[in-house]
Amino acid sequence: MNSLEFSLVLVLFGAAAGFLGALTGLGGGVVITPVLTLLFGVDIRYAIGATLVSVIATSSGAASAFLKEGFSNIRIGMFLEIATTLGAITGAFLATRTPTSALGVILGLVLLYSAFLSTRPKPEVHADGPPDPLATRLKLDSTYPTPQGWQPYRVQHVKAGFGLMFGAGAMSGLLGIGSGALKVLAMDHAMRIPFKVSTSTSNFMIGVTAAASAGVYLHRGYIDPALAMPVMLGVSGGSLLGARHLSGANTGVLRIVFGVVVGVLAVEMIYNGLAGKI
């Protein structure tokens, strides 16, 4: 396979990952990093660098469409980005000092958790809980569009969500996956935000998180333009297409399919990490 063919394969692969990542809110990086490492034999740190660039593209491509449709909660995103940015810088700093085999095992474990989250059913509305004083003070409660009209929701447990977001940012900087799984955990489970709102807000946030850690990888020389650019182009197109199809998508089926794929990649990453093949 010559360089042109390899670039075209990366574009197609990135488009598929971006499409699914935008629809599920877990981010295309959950797939990109392990596939580049396992199938293409890319050093995991360079794979992480390419993934971080593509994650920025995912956020840029999907965020505009989500904002136009009214799903993203900008106030929540801007508030939680404080935690994710600090975590991302911390994670990126640790990644350059962690053995690649250990990074592979950690990534595999995070992927397993992502797969588990993908297959769990989620209620669509969480509007009945008591108001959170901090959410009220910051005006985080909002509405989102549904077939029945605009549905209000209340944001819960803001402090717990903020703490989980620091961990999500650290995982993003350490593994280059955008940490959509931990963001969805924080927003879906802790803060009780409806799934489509947490998905769109996660896509809005991951670009800022990735940009914070990408600077560290760039400084260390782990971002190769020949690898990062084709992946970024594919992910940009795929994420934009996925965002446009979110309102009518059968997210339950997509999450199961995505969970199975991510689960297989997770087992492979753990095995290769423990075997010292990464």
- pLDDT for 205 equals 79
Mean pLDDT within 22-27: 64
Indicate the DSSP class of residue 278: -
242 confidence band (pLDDT: 50, 70, 90): confident
For residue 143, give the H/E element and its range. Answer: strand 142-146
230 confidence band (pLDDT: 50, 70, 90): very high
The lowest-confidence range among 121-125, 131-135, 157-161, 199-203 is 121-125
- pLDDT for 125 equals 47
**pLDDT tens-digit series, residues 66-89:** 666 777 788 888 898 899 889 888
Question: Can you tell me the distance from the alpha carbon of 222 to that of 65, in angstroms, rounded to the nearest whole number?
Answer: 31
Go through 113-138 and write b for each residue having 16 or more CB atoms within 10 A of its CB, e for each that does not. bbbebbeeeeeeebeeeeebeebeee
Residue (of 272, 117, 252, 124) closest to 185 by Cα position: 117
8 confidence band (pLDDT: 50, 70, 90): very high
What's the number of domains the chain is made of?
1
Mean pLDDT within 95-124: 77
Could you list the residue range(s) of the whole structural domain that residue 145 is in?
3-274
The lowest-confidence range among 27-36, 47-56, 113-122, 150-159 is 113-122
- pLDDT for 117 equals 67
Integer Rg of the chain from CA:
18
- pLDDT for 181 equals 60
- pLDDT for 245 equals 67
